Structure 1
Amino acid sequence: MTRASSSKRALLRIKCREALSTHICKLRSYDGSQITANLFVDKRLGLTIAPDKVRLQPLPSDGYSWSATGTTAALLKKGLSSGNIRFYQSICEELGRSLEAVPVQVLKRTAKDKANEGHIAELCSSSFTETILQLKVAISKLKEELSCAYEHLSQSQAENYRLDQALSHTRNELENSTFENSIFRNELLSSEVRIAKAIQVLEVTAGKTATESPEDLPMED
């Protein structure tokens, strides 16, 4: 590495540390009494951070941490003292965008939230699985009930067919009986007419016989 590159790298490291420290503190207004040897009073986190004390992997006791999204998270895996020119440039570019200083409590809360979300997801998954099982049992019962209903329907249709056949046979027998009764009735009427005529003939004959005189009767030899 050339002397010029080393010098540029050192300057960028200082600039990067100052940017990180300033970002953590973000003073809105201050006077000279608030700044001593590049110490910044943090009105957002309640911290006093010196640029040479800024870390990308702070301890919990430091009171702050970093929240990074996307590929920027990879920048937090390296120390500020061992970076290269591009490393420092990337931090300065992403600071305030995909790289933010946050209180330690935020990360703890985030971790807790993630745990809660995982628990909720697990409960939802368990509830969903239970619901699926209940649906499967309900569907199985419905299929069984439908099978029984179909069998009962088939039996009813067979019984209806049998009754329809029996009704048709009975109707035919009734029609035959009605026809035979009509024949018998006609024969009976004919017989009654013949009997009435025979009775009438007998009555006429009897009347004639009663009115004849004895002399009209034939003599015996």
Structure 2
Amino acid sequence: MAPMRVSNLERREWRTKCRDELSRHIQSRLGIVVEPAQVRLLPSPDNPYAWRFLPEKKHLFSKNISDHSINAYKELCDGVGKTFEAILAKQGNSVDSLGMLDGAVASSVGKTEISFSALIDRLQGENALLSHAMEEMRTQLSAELERRRHAERELEHLKEVNQRLQEESEENLAIAMRLKGVFDAQSQGLKSAVQELQALQEGLFMGT
């Protein structure tokens, strides 16, 4: 049972530390004093503050502080002002299930370090650049694929033309061979006729 008591004590210490860190952050960022025991990860509509966080920290703002584990408390302490921040809650804004406010605006602070809002803006800018680069790559890839398809169609056409010319060449060769055979036969016949004519002439000459 001793380890359990130590674990509960450690959890209470981290929970207290977490509440203190969040309370100081709210006062530093917004100038609003909230007692550590009154800090909420899921602020109610009448609270003057809300939370804005990176998507990967969504789980930290899905339940109350008292329901979290030690690891979550450590993550909250490490990420305050870095991966999430307190923002002002505007009157009339509706709170969603994550304690975020639609249209809520982060307060301006005179700090030299990069604020969470600046980080969001930078990430959004980088995302826009990446999206633009990806769109250009898709356009180039589409153009390259189209050129490749065109080259393949041209190659296929050339193959068909070459096949047709080869067939025509074979047909012409066959015709030429037949004509040569006819020519050779006619030449042989003419040669035989000439020889017979010469023999006839010789016979007539000797008979005279």
TM-score of the aligned structures, taking structure 1 as reference length: 0.46
Q: Which has the higher contact order (CA 8 A, sep 6+)?
A: 2
